[in-house]
Amino acid sequence: MTSPLTDGDLTLEPTSGSQEFTGFAVLLAGERVGTLAFRREERDVLSVRWNVGEHELGIAVRALRLAVPHAFDELGAQRLEARIPVDRTDDVRAASIAGLRREGILRGAGPSPDRVLLARIVGDPPPVSRDGFIAILNAGLPTKRVIAQGLLRDEDGRHLLCELTYKTEWDLPGGVVEVGEAPAVGLVRELQEELGVTVTVQGLVTVNWLPAWRGWDDACVFVFDLGVSSADLVERMTLQPTEIAAVHWCDPATVHERATAATTELLDAVAGGPLPPYREAPLSPE
């Protein structure tokens, strides 16, 4: 039988045990204020759930700080998970304070809610240490999608646009920047991969914030100047067939006819003169 776990006036009193579940009553000064239970998901993976009702956040944090080491030291877990409905923000916060890192969102089917997945691995640094605190905070911070695009012109001032395989509108060359990759480096990589050419980034034109659109999250687009090239550059390109159907030098009329709304708005602004370092694109029509 598992012994009670205590922290001052807070106690986790064992209530049940089986191969699948290990349960506790959460007692505060001897009064039952909630429950906590482990479930064995795999041989060395446990999940934890708790309910302390309307009691303050600190009760859940204290209970979890008792429970987490018990899962590793006494129950043999190598990984401990919590799957919390997204609207239970206090429980998400309690799990983070107790040392679990946010890993993503598990989508719910039917009436089941989406759930935040948090987890702790047996070798993670203590949450009260500098490395542990940074890791937990970093995992929970929001991320912003970053795209790098290039303005490449020919001798007649036409802009290079890519005809894409996965949407009807044409777009500037470039793509999504990888995690840990500088935007300018990402642009050079994308053009090497998709067009088979090596470009030189000559400067930043603007950072263009795009609002959410057609199911895509919002993004920051780093727009770089790639200078002027001879028109026959397109004949030397090796296109990645899964993404690029063709490339075209486009005058303003063709841009308005074929480009995405965001690209058209941006190139119209470029034609009007130097852009500010940061700008916000208007919401594109659906």
The pLDDT of residue 135 is 95
Burial 130-160 (b: 16+ CB within 10 A, else e): eebeebbeeebeeeeebbbbbbbbbeeebbb
The string of pLDDT tens digits covering residues 240-270 is 999 999 999 999 999 999 999 999 999 999 9
What's the whole-number average pLDDT of the chain? 94
User: What pLDDT score does 171 carry?
Assistant: 97
**In the chain, where are the structural domains located?**
5-140, 145-280
Give per-residue pLDDT as tens, 23-41: 999 999 999 999 999 999 9
- Could you report the per-residue pLDDT of 202-220, keeping only the tens digit for each? 999 999 999 987 788 899 9
> What DSSP string describes 195-260?
H-------EEEEEEEE--BTTBPPEEEEEEEEEE--GGGGGG----TTTEEEEEEE-HHHHHHHB-
φ, ψ at 181 (rounded to 5°):
-105, 135
Parallel, antiparallel, or unpaired: how do β-strands 159-164 and 170-171 relate?
A: antiparallel
pLDDT tens, position by position, 141-181: 888 999 999 999 999 999 999 999 998 999 999 999 999 99
Q: Which CATH class is domain 5-140?
A: alpha beta
Q: Given a cut of 60, is residue 1 above it in pLDDT?
A: no
Q: What is the mean pLDDT of residues 66-93?
A: 96
Residue 126 identity: P
CATH class in words for 145-280: alpha beta
Residue-wise pLDDT for 105-131, tens only, equals 999 999 999 999 999 999 999 999 999
What pLDDT does 109 receive? 93
Structure tokens at 26: 């959460």
Q: Which two tokens stand for residue 240?
A: 């990645």
Residue 91 has what pLDDT? Answer: 95
